[in-house]
Amino acid sequence: MNQPTRAKAIFLVLFCTLLTSAAQIFWKTGAELLPLLSWQLLAGFVLYAVGAVILIYALSGAPLTIVYPMIATSYIWVSLLAWFLFGEPLAVGKWVGVFSIIAGLFFVGFGGRHD
């Protein structure tokens, strides 16, 4: 299998974070049904497994110090999904956190760029 380009690797990691964030949402809904094993819990496990495979492939196409920190976008996706699906509040502090993650990714991704 060919290695992905840097741009494709970045896209794949972002897609991976969307999958694993969706898995968290499924786990949240499934956890409310415990101790029964529900389809929501199983869906979460499957999404996590698919996300892991995509992440492993993506890591082969770009420097680890650029690609791996992008996993922090999961915190953004989960916050937005929880707000949209469960009505969880997005207070000012959470928005500060979201923008801090975005700024941190910018500095990590472009701050040490030599190529």
CB–CB of 51/16 below 8 Å? yes
Containing 110, the helix (H) or strand (E) segment is helix 92-110
Q: How far is CA 63 from CA 18, 41, 43, 53, 69, in A?
A: 21, 33, 31, 17, 11
Rounded CA-CA distance 41/45 in Å is: 6
Rounded CA-CA distance 114/18 in Å is: 29
What is the tens place of the pLDDT at every residue in 76-96? 999 999 999 999 998 999 899
What is the tens place of the pLDDT at every residue in 1-56? 688 888 899 899 999 999 999 999 999 998 887 777 889 999 999 999 999 999 99
